[in-house]
Amino acid sequence: EPEVTQTPSHQVTQMGQEVILRCVPISNHLYFYWYRQILGQKVEFLVSFYNNEISEKSEIFDDQFSVERPDGSNFTLKIRSTKLEDSAMYFCASSETLHGGYTFGSGTRLTVV
Amino acid sequence: RKEVEQDPGPFNVPEGATVAFNCTYSNSASQSFFWYRQDCRKEPKLLMSVYSSGNEDGRFTAQLNRASQYISLLIRDSKLSDSATYLCVVNLTPGGTSYGKLTFGQGTILTVHP
């Protein structure tokens, strides 16, 4: 079964440092997403990406966040200057259409110290 | 009012029991509905889509009532492996205000015991 791959599985970083979270979506999917889940809380939407541009972003996705699809297979989330409150599980997801459910990667646990 | 609201539980049931979860959503423009399950510290996994006519997949039955903005999931003959958090998820598609964004409920915790 096709899957969404995320690396690294766990990243520890110091406050103020930049991090890049990487994802390889399912190859024939057209829509890409990042979500996050703070421990004990619900899954929250960050950003959607289609046709090489952001289609929607949430209030969480401020100027410290950016996404890129650099080479047609990878999809990255960059946090420029991490804060303690950025500590969370970050899930990448992809879908073939806008109407169906989509497939999530296994996540990157980001810990900011 | 929360966008997607679920009873957080926890629900503790014996093996073989039938258990039902409910969910309400606030945006009447919502177009697609799903139940996901999430195991501890894992990613959400799609359990089933939910259609207005109701749909069944083995021991799982999902129902949607658009007039009441209400979604349900019924699990029959519970197994130990059904223990997880069940997430009610709503998708606002183009024509609404969101571009395929999924909105998650808080989740309902289910524990099935021997």
Query: Residue-wise pLDDT tens for chain A (113 aa)?
Result: 789 999 999 999 999 999 999 999 999 898 999 999 999 999 999 999 988 899 889 999 999 999 999 887 899 999 999 999 999 999 999 988 877 778 999 999 999 99
Residue-wise pLDDT for B41-99, tens only, equals 899 999 999 988 889 999 999 999 999 999 999 999 999 999 999 999 998 654 544 55
Identify the pLDDT of residue B92.
64
Cα dist from B9 to A106, B34, B99, B109, whole Å: 25, 19, 31, 6
**For residues A87 and A108, is the Cβ–Cβ distance under 8 A?**
no
Q: Tell me how crowded residue B53 is: count the other CB atoms within 10 A of its CB.
A: 7
For residue B46, the chain A residues in CB contact (below 8 A) are 101-103
| A98 touches B: beta carbon within 8 Å | yes
Which candidate, B65, B2, B73, places its Cα nearest to that of A44? B2
Does B102 contact A102 at a Cβ distance shorter than 8 Å? yes
| A44 touches B: beta carbon within 8 Å | yes
Contacts of A65 (CB under 8 A, 6+ apart): A46, A47, A57, A77, A78, A79, A80
Residue-wise pLDDT for B4-39, tens only, equals 999 888 999 999 999 999 999 988 877 789 999 999
Which candidate, A36, A25, A41, places its Cα nearest to that of A93? A25
Q: Tell me how crowded residue A102 is: count the other CB atoms within 10 A of its CB.
A: 25
* CA gap B8, A59 in Å, rounded: 25
* CA gap B8, A43 in Å, rounded: 14
Which candidate, B87, B99, B103, places its Cα nearest to that of B1? B103
| B94 touches A: beta carbon within 8 Å | yes
| A31 touches B: beta carbon within 8 Å | yes
| A70 touches B: beta carbon within 8 Å | no
For residue A109, the chain B residues in CB contact (below 8 A) are 41
Does A98 contact B93 at a Cβ distance shorter than 8 Å? yes
Does B93 contact A55 at a Cβ distance shorter than 8 Å? no
Does B46 contact A102 at a Cβ distance shorter than 8 Å? yes
Backbone angles phi, psi at A35, to 5 degrees: -125, 160
Identify the pLDDT of residue B62.
96
Q: CA A5, A7, A10: angle at the middle one, nearest 5? A: 125
pLDDT bin (cut points 50, 70, 90) of residue B112 is very high
Does A98 contact B94 at a Cβ distance shorter than 8 Å? yes
Q: Over the range A13-39, which residues count as b (16 or more CB within 10 Å of their CB) and which as e?
A: beeeeebebbbbbbeebebbbbbbbee
* CA gap A47, A49 in Å, rounded: 7
Backbone angles phi, psi at B79, to 5 degrees: -110, 160
| A54 touches B: beta carbon within 8 Å | no
Contacts of A59 (CB under 8 A, 6+ apart): none
* Segment 15-44 of chain B within 8 Å of chain A by CB: 31-32, 34, 36, 38, 41-44
| B55 touches A: beta carbon within 8 Å | no
The CA distance from B51 to the nearest CA of chain A, in Å, is 12
